[in-house]
Structure 1
Amino acid sequence: MITRVEVVARRGPGGRTVLPVVRGSGQLAVRRTGPASVHLVATAFGPLGGDDAEIRLVVEEGATLAVRTVAAAVALPDRGGDRPSAQRVVAEVAGSLDLRPEPTVVAARAHHRAGLTATLAPGAVLTATEQVLLGRTGEEPGRWTGTTRVVVDGRPLLHTTVGLGPGAPAWLPPVAPRAYASTVHVGQAAGVLTVDDAVRLPLEDGWVATAWGAELHRVVRAVEAVA
Protein backbone atom coordinates (compact mmCIF):
# COMPACT_ATOMS: atom_id res chain seq x y z
CA MET A 1 0.00 0.00 0.00
CA ILE A 2 1.19 3.49 -0.86
CA THR A 3 0.63 6.11 1.85
CA ARG A 4 1.18 9.82 1.46
CA VAL A 5 0.71 12.48 4.15
CA GLU A 6 1.26 16.23 3.85
CA VAL A 7 0.91 18.92 6.50
CA VAL A 8 1.85 22.58 6.06
CA ALA A 9 2.01 24.96 9.05
CA ARG A 10 2.03 28.71 8.38
CA ARG A 11 2.09 31.82 10.54
CA GLY A 12 -1.35 33.37 10.40
CA PRO A 13 -3.00 36.55 11.65
CA GLY A 14 -1.88 37.62 15.11
CA GLY A 15 1.02 35.20 15.04
CA ARG A 16 -1.11 32.08 15.48
CA THR A 17 -0.35 29.00 13.42
CA VAL A 18 -2.72 27.97 10.65
CA LEU A 19 -2.65 24.66 8.78
CA PRO A 20 -3.64 25.34 5.15
CA VAL A 21 -2.72 21.81 4.06
CA VAL A 22 -3.68 18.72 6.07
CA ARG A 23 -4.16 15.58 4.02
CA GLY A 24 -3.45 11.87 4.12
CA SER A 25 -4.09 8.84 1.94
CA GLY A 26 -3.49 5.13 2.13
CA GLN A 27 -2.78 3.77 5.60
CA LEU A 28 -2.77 7.08 7.48
CA ALA A 29 -5.38 9.75 8.06
CA VAL A 30 -4.53 13.12 9.60
CA ARG A 31 -6.63 14.78 12.28
CA ARG A 32 -6.10 18.29 13.58
CA THR A 33 -6.16 17.97 17.38
CA GLY A 34 -5.12 21.43 18.52
CA PRO A 35 -4.35 24.94 17.30
CA ALA A 36 -0.95 23.78 16.01
CA SER A 37 -1.03 20.00 16.39
CA VAL A 38 -2.07 16.96 14.35
CA HIS A 39 -2.38 13.25 15.06
CA LEU A 40 -1.73 10.54 12.48
CA VAL A 41 -4.37 7.81 12.65
CA ALA A 42 -3.84 4.35 11.15
CA THR A 43 -6.70 3.26 8.91
CA ALA A 44 -5.41 -0.29 8.32
CA PHE A 45 -3.21 -2.91 9.95
CA GLY A 46 0.48 -2.61 9.36
CA PRO A 47 2.67 -1.49 7.83
CA LEU A 48 3.05 -4.78 5.99
CA GLY A 49 6.11 -5.85 4.04
CA GLY A 50 6.14 -3.93 0.76
CA ASP A 51 4.16 -0.96 2.09
CA ASP A 52 5.62 2.49 1.44
CA ALA A 53 4.72 5.63 3.39
CA GLU A 54 5.99 9.19 3.05
CA ILE A 55 5.08 11.96 5.50
CA ARG A 56 5.90 15.47 4.31
CA LEU A 57 5.92 18.25 6.90
CA VAL A 58 6.47 21.93 6.12
CA VAL A 59 6.73 24.43 8.97
CA GLU A 60 7.14 27.96 7.71
CA GLU A 61 8.86 30.79 9.56
CA GLY A 62 6.94 31.91 12.63
CA ALA A 63 4.81 28.75 12.74
CA THR A 64 4.85 25.79 15.12
CA LEU A 65 3.70 22.22 14.55
CA ALA A 66 3.38 19.22 16.86
CA VAL A 67 2.92 15.81 15.24
CA ARG A 68 1.77 12.77 17.21
CA THR A 69 0.34 9.33 16.46
CA VAL A 70 -2.69 7.77 18.11
CA ALA A 71 -1.17 4.34 18.83
CA ALA A 72 1.92 2.24 18.34
CA ALA A 73 2.56 0.92 14.84
CA VAL A 74 3.14 -2.82 14.35
CA ALA A 75 5.30 -3.65 11.33
CA LEU A 76 4.31 -7.07 9.95
CA PRO A 77 5.99 -9.28 7.32
CA ASP A 78 4.46 -9.88 3.93
CA ARG A 79 3.42 -13.42 3.02
CA GLY A 80 6.86 -14.31 1.74
CA GLY A 81 8.68 -12.45 4.51
CA ASP A 82 11.21 -11.00 2.08
CA ARG A 83 10.08 -7.41 1.45
CA PRO A 84 10.69 -4.58 3.92
CA SER A 85 8.16 -1.90 4.75
CA ALA A 86 9.28 1.73 4.67
CA GLN A 87 8.24 5.01 6.22
CA ARG A 88 9.98 8.30 5.46
CA VAL A 89 9.46 11.64 7.15
CA VAL A 90 10.62 14.58 5.04
CA ALA A 91 10.54 17.86 6.94
CA GLU A 92 11.26 21.43 5.86
CA VAL A 93 11.43 23.61 8.95
CA ALA A 94 11.81 27.36 9.28
CA GLY A 95 9.70 27.56 12.45
CA SER A 96 9.39 24.89 15.16
CA LEU A 97 8.59 21.18 14.68
CA ASP A 98 7.93 18.73 17.51
CA LEU A 99 7.69 15.17 16.14
CA ARG A 100 6.93 12.50 18.75
CA PRO A 101 5.25 9.37 17.36
CA GLU A 102 4.27 6.38 19.46
CA PRO A 103 6.63 3.35 19.32
CA THR A 104 7.11 1.07 16.34
CA VAL A 105 6.95 -2.66 17.11
CA VAL A 106 8.64 -4.84 14.49
CA ALA A 107 7.14 -8.34 14.46
CA ALA A 108 9.11 -11.53 13.80
CA ARG A 109 10.29 -11.90 10.16
CA ALA A 110 9.41 -8.28 9.39
CA HIS A 111 11.95 -5.67 8.29
CA HIS A 112 10.95 -2.04 8.68
CA ARG A 113 12.97 0.87 7.31
CA ALA A 114 12.42 4.27 8.88
CA GLY A 115 13.87 7.57 7.73
CA LEU A 116 13.87 11.19 8.83
CA THR A 117 15.27 13.87 6.55
CA ALA A 118 14.99 17.34 8.06
CA THR A 119 16.09 20.51 6.28
CA LEU A 120 16.23 23.45 8.71
CA ALA A 121 16.53 27.16 8.09
CA PRO A 122 18.73 29.25 10.43
CA GLY A 123 16.99 29.63 13.78
CA ALA A 124 14.58 26.73 13.22
CA VAL A 125 13.78 24.40 16.11
CA LEU A 126 13.41 20.63 15.79
CA THR A 127 12.66 17.90 18.31
CA ALA A 128 12.21 14.40 16.89
CA THR A 129 11.93 11.11 18.76
CA GLU A 130 12.09 7.47 17.74
CA GLN A 131 11.07 4.45 19.85
CA VAL A 132 11.45 0.89 18.59
CA LEU A 133 10.73 -2.56 20.00
CA LEU A 134 11.83 -5.69 18.15
CA GLY A 135 9.23 -8.42 18.47
CA ARG A 136 5.95 -8.69 20.31
CA THR A 137 5.61 -10.59 23.58
CA GLY A 138 6.78 -14.17 23.23
CA GLU A 139 8.07 -13.94 19.66
CA GLU A 140 11.42 -13.54 17.94
CA PRO A 141 12.61 -10.03 17.07
CA GLY A 142 12.06 -8.42 13.72
CA ARG A 143 14.57 -6.14 11.99
CA TRP A 144 14.61 -2.34 11.99
CA THR A 145 16.82 0.10 10.08
CA GLY A 146 16.58 3.80 10.86
CA THR A 147 18.33 6.68 9.14
CA THR A 148 18.33 10.30 10.35
CA ARG A 149 19.63 13.21 8.29
CA VAL A 150 19.54 16.81 9.52
CA VAL A 151 20.77 19.74 7.43
CA VAL A 152 20.86 23.27 8.85
CA ASP A 153 21.27 26.27 6.54
CA GLY A 154 22.61 24.01 3.81
CA ARG A 155 25.22 22.36 6.06
CA PRO A 156 24.99 18.72 7.17
CA LEU A 157 24.55 18.51 10.94
CA LEU A 158 23.73 14.84 11.55
CA HIS A 159 23.65 11.73 9.37
CA THR A 160 23.36 8.40 11.14
CA THR A 161 21.97 4.94 10.43
CA VAL A 162 21.11 2.38 13.11
CA GLY A 163 20.40 -1.26 12.25
CA LEU A 164 18.90 -3.66 14.77
CA GLY A 165 17.61 -7.21 14.56
CA PRO A 166 18.60 -10.42 12.73
CA GLY A 167 20.75 -9.64 9.72
CA ALA A 168 21.85 -6.19 10.88
CA PRO A 169 25.68 -5.96 10.84
CA ALA A 170 26.03 -4.59 14.39
CA TRP A 171 23.39 -6.87 15.96
CA LEU A 172 25.47 -9.76 17.26
CA PRO A 173 24.17 -11.80 20.21
CA PRO A 174 24.72 -11.59 23.13
CA VAL A 175 24.94 -7.84 22.33
CA ALA A 176 21.49 -7.77 20.75
CA PRO A 177 19.20 -5.13 22.28
CA ARG A 178 15.52 -5.44 21.44
CA ALA A 179 14.58 -1.88 22.41
CA TYR A 180 15.92 1.43 21.12
CA ALA A 181 15.00 5.07 21.68
CA SER A 182 16.47 8.33 20.44
CA THR A 183 15.78 12.05 20.49
CA VAL A 184 17.43 14.65 18.30
CA HIS A 185 17.02 18.33 19.19
CA VAL A 186 18.15 21.42 17.34
CA GLY A 187 17.65 24.85 18.84
CA GLN A 188 19.43 24.71 22.20
CA ALA A 189 22.92 23.41 22.82
CA ALA A 190 23.78 20.86 25.54
CA GLY A 191 26.93 19.01 26.52
CA VAL A 192 27.80 15.36 26.96
CA LEU A 193 25.77 13.46 29.56
CA THR A 194 25.61 9.74 30.30
CA VAL A 195 23.55 7.46 32.52
CA ASP A 196 23.68 3.68 32.80
CA ASP A 197 21.82 2.98 29.56
CA ALA A 198 21.87 6.26 27.60
CA VAL A 199 24.16 8.95 26.27
CA ARG A 200 23.60 12.51 25.10
CA LEU A 201 26.08 13.90 22.58
CA PRO A 202 26.35 17.54 21.54
CA LEU A 203 25.57 18.91 18.12
CA GLU A 204 26.06 22.46 16.93
CA ASP A 205 23.19 24.30 18.67
CA GLY A 206 21.64 20.99 19.68
CA TRP A 207 22.13 17.42 20.86
CA VAL A 208 21.22 13.79 20.17
CA ALA A 209 20.38 11.24 22.88
CA THR A 210 20.20 7.46 22.38
CA ALA A 211 19.64 4.35 24.47
CA TRP A 212 19.48 0.61 23.89
CA GLY A 213 18.26 -2.18 26.12
CA ALA A 214 15.97 -5.16 26.64
CA GLU A 215 12.78 -3.32 27.64
CA LEU A 216 11.31 -0.33 25.85
CA HIS A 217 9.92 1.46 28.89
CA ARG A 218 13.35 1.41 30.57
CA VAL A 219 15.06 2.63 27.41
CA VAL A 220 12.58 5.49 27.01
CA ARG A 221 13.09 6.57 30.61
CA ALA A 222 16.86 6.49 30.10
CA VAL A 223 16.63 8.86 27.12
CA GLU A 224 14.31 11.15 29.05
CA ALA A 225 16.88 11.29 31.86
CA VAL A 226 19.51 12.80 29.55
CA ALA A 227 17.20 14.83 27.28
Structure 2
Amino acid sequence: MEVVARCDARGRTVLPVVRASGQLAVRRTGPASVHLVATAFGPLGGDDAEIRLVVESGARLSVHSVAAAVVLPARGESPPSRQVVRAEVAGVLHLAPEPTVVTARADHRAELHAQLAEGGELTATEQVLLGRTGEEPGRWTGTTRVERDGRPLLQTTVGLGPGAPAWLPPVAPRAYVSTVSIGSTVGISDPRPEVATGVDAVRLPLPGGWVGTAWAEELHEAVAGLAAVTPAVADELVEVAR
Protein backbone atom coordinates (compact mmCIF):
# COMPACT_ATOMS: atom_id res chain seq x y z
CA MET A 1 0.00 0.00 0.00
CA GLU A 2 1.23 3.51 -0.78
CA VAL A 3 -0.01 7.05 -0.13
CA VAL A 4 1.79 10.21 -1.23
CA ALA A 5 0.76 13.64 0.09
CA ARG A 6 1.94 16.73 -1.80
CA CYS A 7 1.45 20.49 -1.43
CA ASP A 8 0.06 22.09 -4.59
CA ALA A 9 0.65 25.61 -5.93
CA ARG A 10 -2.23 26.95 -3.80
CA GLY A 11 -0.80 25.51 -0.60
CA ARG A 12 -3.37 22.72 -0.40
CA THR A 13 -2.58 19.07 0.24
CA VAL A 14 -3.27 16.76 -2.68
CA LEU A 15 -2.90 12.99 -2.77
CA PRO A 16 -1.52 12.07 -6.20
CA VAL A 17 -0.89 8.46 -5.11
CA VAL A 18 -3.46 6.43 -3.16
CA ARG A 19 -3.18 2.73 -3.96
CA ALA A 20 -3.32 -0.63 -2.24
CA SER A 21 -3.64 -4.33 -2.96
CA GLY A 22 -3.86 -7.60 -1.09
CA GLN A 23 -5.29 -7.61 2.43
CA LEU A 24 -5.62 -3.81 2.69
CA ALA A 25 -7.59 -1.23 0.75
CA VAL A 26 -7.26 2.52 1.25
CA ARG A 27 -9.96 5.16 0.92
CA ARG A 28 -9.58 8.93 0.84
CA THR A 29 -11.92 10.28 3.54
CA GLY A 30 -10.98 13.96 3.61
CA PRO A 31 -8.84 16.58 1.88
CA ALA A 32 -5.73 15.25 3.66
CA SER A 33 -6.89 12.03 5.31
CA VAL A 34 -7.21 8.36 4.41
CA HIS A 35 -8.64 5.29 6.13
CA LEU A 36 -7.32 1.75 5.82
CA VAL A 37 -9.89 -0.97 5.14
CA ALA A 38 -9.26 -4.68 5.63
CA THR A 39 -10.32 -6.69 2.59
CA ALA A 40 -10.25 -10.03 4.42
CA PHE A 41 -10.16 -11.51 7.92
CA GLY A 42 -6.92 -11.08 9.74
CA PRO A 43 -4.03 -10.50 9.49
CA LEU A 44 -3.52 -14.26 9.50
CA GLY A 45 -0.36 -16.06 10.50
CA GLY A 46 2.18 -15.72 7.70
CA ASP A 47 0.67 -12.54 6.23
CA ASP A 48 3.20 -9.81 5.40
CA ALA A 49 1.98 -6.29 4.63
CA GLU A 50 3.92 -3.09 3.94
CA ILE A 51 2.53 0.44 4.05
CA ARG A 52 4.51 3.30 2.50
CA LEU A 53 3.61 6.87 3.44
CA VAL A 54 5.28 9.89 1.83
CA VAL A 55 4.44 13.38 3.09
CA GLU A 56 6.24 16.05 1.11
CA SER A 57 7.18 19.49 2.42
CA GLY A 58 4.14 21.67 3.13
CA ALA A 59 1.70 18.75 2.96
CA ARG A 60 -0.32 17.12 5.73
CA LEU A 61 -1.61 13.55 5.99
CA SER A 62 -3.78 11.79 8.58
CA VAL A 63 -3.97 8.00 8.46
CA HIS A 64 -6.64 6.04 10.34
CA SER A 65 -8.40 2.69 10.00
CA VAL A 66 -12.11 1.90 9.91
CA ALA A 67 -11.99 -0.91 12.50
CA ALA A 68 -9.73 -2.77 14.87
CA ALA A 69 -7.33 -5.28 13.29
CA VAL A 70 -7.95 -8.79 14.67
CA VAL A 71 -4.84 -10.93 14.27
CA LEU A 72 -5.64 -14.63 13.85
CA PRO A 73 -3.37 -17.70 13.80
CA ALA A 74 -3.08 -19.85 10.70
CA ARG A 75 -4.05 -23.50 10.92
CA GLY A 76 -1.48 -25.86 12.33
CA GLU A 77 1.85 -24.37 13.31
CA SER A 78 1.21 -20.67 12.79
CA PRO A 79 4.09 -18.43 11.65
CA PRO A 80 4.04 -14.76 12.72
CA SER A 81 2.17 -12.15 10.72
CA ARG A 82 3.91 -8.84 10.02
CA GLN A 83 2.97 -5.28 9.15
CA VAL A 84 5.59 -2.66 8.37
CA VAL A 85 4.91 1.07 8.02
CA ARG A 86 7.64 3.04 6.25
CA ALA A 87 7.16 6.79 6.42
CA GLU A 88 9.11 9.59 4.74
CA VAL A 89 8.01 12.85 6.32
CA ALA A 90 8.96 16.36 5.26
CA GLY A 91 5.49 17.73 6.08
CA VAL A 92 3.08 16.63 8.84
CA LEU A 93 2.01 13.00 9.40
CA HIS A 94 -0.61 11.91 11.92
CA LEU A 95 -0.85 8.11 12.22
CA ALA A 96 -3.60 6.77 14.48
CA PRO A 97 -5.11 3.42 13.44
CA GLU A 98 -7.70 1.58 15.51
CA PRO A 99 -6.38 -0.98 18.05
CA THR A 100 -4.75 -4.28 17.14
CA VAL A 101 -6.27 -7.33 18.88
CA VAL A 102 -3.97 -10.37 18.95
CA THR A 103 -5.98 -13.54 19.50
CA ALA A 104 -4.85 -16.73 21.23
CA ARG A 105 -1.96 -18.55 19.48
CA ALA A 106 -1.43 -15.64 17.06
CA ASP A 107 1.97 -13.95 16.81
CA HIS A 108 2.16 -10.49 15.23
CA ARG A 109 5.11 -8.23 14.42
CA ALA A 110 4.44 -4.51 13.94
CA GLU A 111 7.12 -2.11 12.74
CA LEU A 112 7.22 1.64 12.19
CA HIS A 113 10.23 3.12 10.40
CA ALA A 114 9.97 6.90 10.06
CA GLN A 115 12.47 9.14 8.28
CA LEU A 116 11.92 12.81 9.12
CA ALA A 117 13.39 15.62 7.08
CA GLU A 118 14.19 18.98 8.67
CA GLY A 119 10.83 20.48 9.59
CA GLY A 120 8.98 17.16 9.34
CA GLU A 121 6.39 16.47 12.05
CA LEU A 122 5.14 13.09 13.25
CA THR A 123 2.54 11.92 15.72
CA ALA A 124 1.99 8.14 15.78
CA THR A 125 -0.17 6.13 18.19
CA GLU A 126 -0.21 2.35 18.65
CA GLN A 127 -2.86 0.47 20.66
CA VAL A 128 -2.66 -3.26 21.35
CA LEU A 129 -4.90 -5.72 23.20
CA LEU A 130 -3.82 -9.33 23.74
CA GLY A 131 -6.77 -11.69 23.45
CA ARG A 132 -10.49 -11.19 23.10
CA THR A 133 -12.89 -11.40 26.07
CA GLY A 134 -12.37 -14.67 27.93
CA GLU A 135 -9.53 -15.71 25.62
CA GLU A 136 -5.86 -16.41 26.24
CA PRO A 137 -3.52 -13.68 24.98
CA GLY A 138 -1.60 -13.83 21.73
CA ARG A 139 1.90 -12.46 21.24
CA TRP A 140 2.81 -9.02 19.86
CA THR A 141 6.21 -7.48 19.13
CA GLY A 142 6.41 -3.82 18.16
CA THR A 143 9.47 -1.98 16.84
CA THR A 144 9.61 1.78 16.35
CA ARG A 145 12.53 3.60 14.74
CA VAL A 146 12.44 7.33 14.09
CA GLU A 147 15.28 9.26 12.43
CA ARG A 148 15.74 12.95 11.70
CA ASP A 149 18.02 13.67 8.74
CA GLY A 150 19.53 10.21 9.12
CA ARG A 151 20.23 10.58 12.85
CA PRO A 152 18.28 8.25 15.19
CA LEU A 153 15.84 9.88 17.63
CA LEU A 154 14.11 6.74 18.87
CA GLN A 155 14.74 3.00 18.58
CA THR A 156 12.63 0.71 20.72
CA THR A 157 11.24 -2.82 20.64
CA VAL A 158 8.46 -4.00 22.97
CA GLY A 159 7.46 -7.65 23.31
CA LEU A 160 4.18 -8.71 24.94
CA GLY A 161 2.46 -12.05 25.36
CA PRO A 162 3.51 -15.66 26.02
CA GLY A 163 7.17 -16.22 25.24
CA ALA A 164 8.18 -12.55 25.35
CA PRO A 165 11.25 -12.20 27.65
CA ALA A 166 9.87 -9.37 29.81
CA TRP A 167 6.27 -10.64 29.92
CA LEU A 168 6.24 -12.63 33.14
CA PRO A 169 3.69 -12.59 36.01
CA PRO A 170 3.00 -10.41 37.86
CA VAL A 171 4.17 -8.04 35.07
CA ALA A 172 2.05 -9.43 32.24
CA PRO A 173 -0.20 -6.64 30.91
CA ARG A 174 -2.71 -7.47 28.19
CA ALA A 175 -3.07 -3.90 26.92
CA TYR A 176 -0.45 -1.46 25.67
CA VAL A 177 -0.65 2.06 24.26
CA SER A 178 2.16 4.24 22.92
CA THR A 179 2.36 7.66 21.28
CA VAL A 180 5.45 9.28 19.78
CA SER A 181 5.28 12.99 18.90
CA ILE A 182 8.17 14.70 17.11
CA GLY A 183 8.19 18.34 16.06
CA SER A 184 4.40 18.67 16.20
CA THR A 185 2.42 21.51 17.71
CA VAL A 186 1.18 19.05 20.34
CA GLY A 187 4.70 18.10 21.36
CA ILE A 188 5.98 21.68 21.51
CA SER A 189 3.08 23.31 23.34
CA ASP A 190 2.52 20.64 26.00
CA PRO A 191 3.14 22.48 29.30
CA ARG A 192 3.94 19.36 31.32
CA PRO A 193 7.46 18.68 32.59
CA GLU A 194 9.69 16.81 30.17
CA VAL A 195 9.39 13.63 32.24
CA ALA A 196 6.00 12.60 33.60
CA THR A 197 5.01 9.35 35.30
CA GLY A 198 1.72 7.80 36.30
CA VAL A 199 0.30 4.40 37.22
CA ASP A 200 2.03 2.07 34.73
CA ALA A 201 2.59 5.03 32.40
CA VAL A 202 5.55 7.22 31.49
CA ARG A 203 6.30 10.13 29.18
CA LEU A 204 9.94 10.69 28.21
CA PRO A 205 11.57 13.52 26.27
CA LEU A 206 13.00 13.16 22.78
CA PRO A 207 14.83 15.81 20.75
CA GLY A 208 11.99 18.04 19.57
CA GLY A 209 9.23 15.92 21.11
CA TRP A 210 8.37 13.05 23.42
CA VAL A 211 7.29 9.41 23.64
CA GLY A 212 4.67 8.11 26.05
CA THR A 213 3.72 4.52 26.92
CA ALA A 214 1.22 2.84 29.23
CA TRP A 215 0.28 -0.72 30.19
CA ALA A 216 -2.82 -2.18 31.84
CA GLU A 217 -5.12 -5.19 31.96
CA GLU A 218 -7.73 -3.48 29.77
CA LEU A 219 -7.23 -1.17 26.81
CA HIS A 220 -9.35 1.67 28.18
CA GLU A 221 -7.25 1.62 31.36
CA ALA A 222 -4.02 1.90 29.35
CA VAL A 223 -5.51 4.74 27.30
CA ALA A 224 -6.49 6.59 30.48
CA GLY A 225 -3.02 6.04 31.94
CA LEU A 226 -1.30 7.48 28.89
CA ALA A 227 -3.74 10.37 28.67
CA ALA A 228 -2.87 11.30 32.28
CA VAL A 229 0.79 11.90 31.38
CA THR A 230 0.14 13.32 27.89
CA PRO A 231 -2.83 15.70 28.37
CA ALA A 232 -2.32 17.35 24.98
CA VAL A 233 -3.53 14.16 23.25
CA ALA A 234 -5.87 12.93 25.99
CA ASP A 235 -9.13 13.77 24.20
CA GLU A 236 -8.13 11.95 21.01
CA LEU A 237 -6.92 8.85 22.83
CA VAL A 238 -10.08 8.58 24.90
CA GLU A 239 -12.27 9.08 21.81
CA VAL A 240 -10.47 6.31 19.90
CA ALA A 241 -10.87 3.89 22.84
CA ARG A 242 -14.67 4.34 23.01
TM surpasses 0.5: yes
Q: Pick from 25, 40, 46 the counterpart of residue 44 of structure 1.
A: 40
Aligned partner of residue 8 in structure 1, secondary structure: strand
Unaligned runs of 5+ in 2: 231-242
Output the CA distance in 1 between the equivalents of 2:77 and 2:201: 33
Q: CA deviation at 1:25?
A: 0.4
Whether the 8 Å CA contact 1:84–1:111 is kept in 2: the answer is yes
Q: CA deviation at 1:148?
A: 0.1
Partner of residue 53, structure 1: 49
TM-score by length of 1: 0.96
2:151 partner letter = R
Matched, 1:210 2:213: yes
Relative to structure 2, which stretch is displaced further, 188-197 or 36-45?
Answer: 188-197
Whether the 8 Å CA contact 1:27–1:42 is kept in 2: the answer is yes
Matched, 1:174 2:170: yes
Q: More helix by proportion, 1 or 2?
A: 2
Partner of residue 115, structure 1: 111
TM-score by length of 2: 0.90
Whether the 8 Å CA contact 1:10–1:59 is kept in 2: the answer is yes
Measured against aligned partners, the alpha-carbon deviations of 1:48-103 in whole angstroms (never above 9, x if no partner) come to 00000000000000000000000000000010243000000000000000000000
Measured against aligned partners, the alpha-carbon deviations of 1:186-221 in whole angstroms (never above 9, x if no partner) come to 013561111223110000001000001101011012
Query: Over aligned residues, Cα RMSD in angstroms?
Result: 0.9
Whether the 8 Å CA contact 1:81–1:110 is kept in 2: the answer is no
Aligned partner of residue 158 in structure 1, secondary structure: strand
Aligned partner of residue 64 in structure 2, secondary structure: strand
Whether the 8 Å CA contact 1:49–1:81 is kept in 2: the answer is no
Output the CA distance in 2 between the equivalents of 1:224 and 1:118: 23
Matched, 1:152 2:148: yes
Measured against aligned partners, the alpha-carbon deviations of 1:132-156 in whole angstroms (never above 9, x if no partner) come to 0000011100000000000001100
Output the CA distance in 2 between the equivalents of 1:199 and 1:98: 21
Whether the 8 Å CA contact 1:54–1:88 is kept in 2: the answer is yes
2:122 partner letter = L
Output the CA distance in 1 between the equivalents of 2:150 and 2:88: 12
Output the CA distance in 2 between the equivalents of 1:6 and 1:224: 31
Unaligned runs of 5+ in 1: none
Identity, in percent, stands at: 75
Q: More strand by proportion, 1 or 2?
A: 1
Output the CA distance in 1 between the equivalents of 2:78 and 2:170: 25
Matched, 1:226 2:229: yes
Output the CA distance in 2 between the equivalents of 1:224 and 1:9: 29
2:8 partner letter = G
Q: CA deviation at 1:123?
A: 1.2
